[in-house]
Chains A and B, each alone.
Chain A
Amino acid sequence: MYSGPRTSIYLLMRNIFLFIRRYLNFLFFLFLQIIALSMLFRYNKFHEAAFMNVAKEVTGSVYDKVSNTEYYFHLKKTNDSLVSENLRLRNLLASNFENPDTSSRVVRDTIPFDTLGHYRKFLWREARVSNNSTSTQSNYITIHRGENQGVRKDMGVVSANGVVGVVVNTSANYATIMSLLHKSSRVVGALKKTGETGTVLWNGDSPLFLTMMNIPKSAKVARGDTVITSQYATRFPPTVIGTVYSIVDEQSTNFYTLTIKPATNFFSLRNVYVIENLQADEQKKLEEATRQKIQ
């Protein structure tokens, strides 16, 4: 039989269509797998995904209803932590300090009364936690406060006791926070006593402990030392991260690896504060301009 170029193309096309029809289900399966995997790997990099903002409004409102119910069962604990915070703040009041020596007196700093806002660097906003996870390798916290209430991406979040995490995604009324208990969370920490800085991260093992890397061996560290956020961490004012639990002496490097017990109790988060650094933009702009000038 004569089969010219036209016939063979028809045959080829026919075979392709037959192939597609025969393996339609398998191709559809592959297609959905590729969508799912690309969402997964893109999300890990950018913390953004298709329809995430819309979905956050829906899932956020479900979580909020549950959390409203749960809230009553934790009132006592919440009250205790707020009382202890109040106690700490009251102890800082100027009226608590009196000097018998009349030649010197305690003067109250004027900056707390900066009504024009010229010197304010950090602005605090309170928020209710509507969902919280501690049981996976990538833990997120959802709060009931979003763009309409002034929360933006990259703001720091602390609780009454210590650092909680960083805002990674916002919708109109909700925001998602990457908890310190997340495998890609990185916060610059410092030893309160001596000032050495290092990176605080989570190795994904136990939700009770964090890891602090790159503390030079010249530092004098002891168990129980406090670790605070470094002043290089633009998102936070100096805030407690936790206390040193154990010190691992890495033989192969010149650095210690510290295990840190976080000050925040991630299992019973109820109220958090979102911190906005009002001067971050200026600092970022200057650093960016410097980088461009050098290149």
Chain B
Amino acid sequence: MSNFLKNIIRFVFFILLQALVLHRIPFLHKSITPYLYYLYIIWLPFSMPRGWLTFTGFIYGLTLDYFLNTPGLHAAACVLIAYVRPFLVNLLIPQEGAEQSYASPSVRSMGWAPYFTLVLILTLLHHTYLVFLEWMQIGSFLYFIMKVFASTGVSLLLVLLAEMLFVRKERFRTNKV
């Protein structure tokens, strides 16, 4: 399966999962919204140019927004993490040239600790921005902080589950075809 097709299927899958399953979990919303959809942006390939990555983030966030009736909210957060991702990958990647040898960020290509640092920072960034935009009009600071950290915790748990359930077979790419 080509990389492009794989990413399109992932796009649809993550949007439907977020809109139809995770957003319908009741009674949690006082402090927690379980988010997983942004994992798609983390899983996008290394080889994508920065501009395209940012643009994909925008389209992706906007698609979810149309499902959730919040035009612009998730798009803004997705654009932010898509823009920041290349900087973090450059900082965190341990071995020289791993972005050429592997297709996309994963435990295999980056190692456990750097990969989860990447996930943690992007999750925190995404949630902080999202909750900040959501609670600009109402809300106390304590509530804001509580919601950010509680959602981040739940999201990290979901990411860990997703990584363990769907092991991406990342091959070491050589020049040989």
Contact = CB atoms under 8 A, between A and B. Distances in A.
Interface in B49-73: 50-51, 54-55, 57-58, 61-62, 66-73
B30 interface: yes
Interface residues on B, range: 35 or more
A9 to B, nearest CB: 29
A28 B79 CA distance: 10
Given A133-B24, A204-B138, A267-B26, A176 B55 contact: no
Contacts of B55: 28, 32
Interface in A20-58: 24-26, 28-29, 32-33, 35-41, 43, 49-52, 55-56, 58
Interface residues on A, range: 35 or more
A52 B71 contact: yes
A95 B54 CA distance: 69
A203 to B, nearest CB: 8
State the majority secondary structure of interface residues on B. helix
A40 B70 contact: yes
Interface string B78-112: 01100100000000000000000000000000000
Interface stretch (A101-109, A135-143, A222-230, A233-241): A135-143
Contact of A43 (B29, B61, B72): B72
A43 B133 CA distance: 13
B31 to A, nearest CB: 11
A39 B29 contact: no
A67 to B, nearest CB: 10
A235 B168 CA distance: 54
Nearest to A52: B71
Interface string B33-63: 1000000000000000011001101100110
Contact of A205 (B30, B76, B79): B30
B70 A43 contact: yes
Given A183-B137, A207-B29, A37 B23 contact: no
Interface of B: 16, 20, 23-30, 33, 50-51, 54-55, 57-58, 61-62, 66-73, 75-76, 79-80, 83, 133-135, 137-139
6 contacts: A36-B58, A43-B71, A135-B23, A135-B25, A135-B28, A205-B30
